[in-house]
Homo-oligomer: A and B are copies of this chain.
Amino acid sequence: MFQGMSPAKQLIDDLGRKAVKAAHRLAVCSTEAKNEALEAMANALEKQISDIVTANDRDMYAGKEGGLSEAMLDRLKLNEKRISSMAQGLREVAALPDPVGEVIKEWTRPNGLRFRKVRVPLGVVGIIFESRPNVTADAASLCLKAGNACILRGGSEAIHSNIAIAKILNETTARHGIPDHSIQMVEVTDREVVKAMARADQYLACIVPRGGYGLIRAIQEGATVPVIKHLEGICHVYVDKDADLEMARRVTINAKCQRPGVCNAMETLLVHSDVAGEFLPPLLKDLQARKVEVRGDEHVRRIGGGSVIPVTEKDFRTEWLDLILSIRIVDSLDEAVKHINTYGSHHSDSIITRDSKSAKAFLDEVDSSTVYHNASTRFTDGGEFGLGAEIGISTDRLHARGPMALEELTTYKYQVFGDGQIRE
């Protein structure tokens, strides 16, 4: 049956068949059944903390031997507190409303046909992720709640932790009437498996990759399965000439410093030339006190002096994920918008202004998934949006844009009710 297939393709073919079967049954599971399973999964993780920690110890040992950085090891590490927080995440997903079955629209045509656009699961979702083993529980729970089977492929560094977590989840779902193979962890971590997943369009509705640019681009190359990309965030704050400068200072510091290593942190600050002379000097001192390296254009350097490094065009295209900030002075709102649409990554951008006309122009013209008026870019997050948990922040335009939560893990179907209508 599998003759002529590579081992990776055989494996994905096998998992894919099983997942499709599971997905058909999962699509009609009741909300109660799914929620009970999620609660039980949370309890099971907490009860079996020592099994998870034992598996995680193996990964941590291999990671240290293999020379993983301290930051990587920290992402990999699981302890009682982190496992409890994973369990808490499952309980939060259980508490969210079930998106499946929601009637999105309903209407009747003159011929009497009644139309209902209803939310339904996507089917089988592939999640490809790197080091953090908590993604196993997060992704599995969101997929389950949205009625999707999932095929999870984690990174090799976390393989023992991932397998241990998936095993506990599967033992629990089996006891709670969730179809077998609803959650499948790929236990082989070579890149061939990723390629095979990306071409398994007869089984997978889509792939959500969570990881660095290299991983995502590698998946996209040669993929026949739709990939919902989660790429970088080159986010901007624009301080308008009519800004409340104290508010602008607070938002700027927050967007850059509160957690610089995440995709919704600011990377470039744009300041209107009318207020640059007043706004920048105290801000630059503030940034210096917080150990932020500032790179600025000539105008910024005239204001800021020797501590400001000359900024390059490449800097404007760089996601620092660090305490580094590019600053540019612009002469108009238009120039700010043009800069953001040219150098940004269409993720999250904010204007600080008291002028509602300028705010409207910025929010309409900046082509990003989230645009803010008088707020920090750091709010781009499923939780902060009120969507509950999220599977990531999509940088794509199709299907899911911005925070990707339960709704974005579904599609729809049309149910049409007639009394014998035929087309003339």
Contacts and interface: CB of A to CB of B under 8 A. Distances in A.
B397 A123 contact: yes
A contact face: mostly helix, strand, loop, or mixed:
mixed
A109 B384 contact: yes
A379 B107 CA distance: 15
A217 to B, nearest CB: 9
A92 to B, nearest CB: 16
Given A222-B222, A376-B423, A401-B411, A416 B371 contact: yes
A106 to B, nearest CB: 12
Given A24-B341, A107-B386, A416 B373 contact: yes
A374 B411 contact: no
Interface string A97-116: 00000000001010001010
A67 interface: no
A188 to B, nearest CB: 25
A372 interface: yes
Contact of A367 (B27, B368, B412): B27
A205 B421 contact: no
A264 to B, nearest CB: 9
Interface in A242-264: 244, 247, 250-251, 253-255, 258
A417 interface: yes
B414 A371 contact: yes
A420 interface: yes
Contacts of A254: 422-423
A419 interface: yes
B413 A226 contact: no
A398 interface: yes
Contact of A205 (B28, B397, B420): B397
A386 B379 CA distance: 38
Given A109-B386, A423-B254, A28 B365 contact: yes
A262 to B, nearest CB: 10
6 contacts: A369-B414, A371-B415, A374-B421, A375-B419, A376-B422, A399-B399
Interface of A: 24, 27-28, 107, 109, 113, 115, 120, 122-123, 205-206, 220-222, 224, 226, 228, 244, 247, 250-251, 253-255, 258, 341, 359, 363-365, 367-376, 378-379, 384-386, 396-399, 401-402, 411-423
9 nearest A-B pairs in the assembled complex, by CB-CB distance: A375-B418, A254-B422, A378-B423, A399-B399, A247-B420, A398-B399, A375-B421, A370-B414, A374-B418
Given A250-B422, A371-B416, A399-B399, 15 more contacts: A28-B365, A109-B385, A113-B375, A206-B397, A221-B224, A247-B419, A370-B416, A373-B418, A374-B421, A375-B419, A375-B421, A376-B422, A398-B399, A398-B411, A402-B413
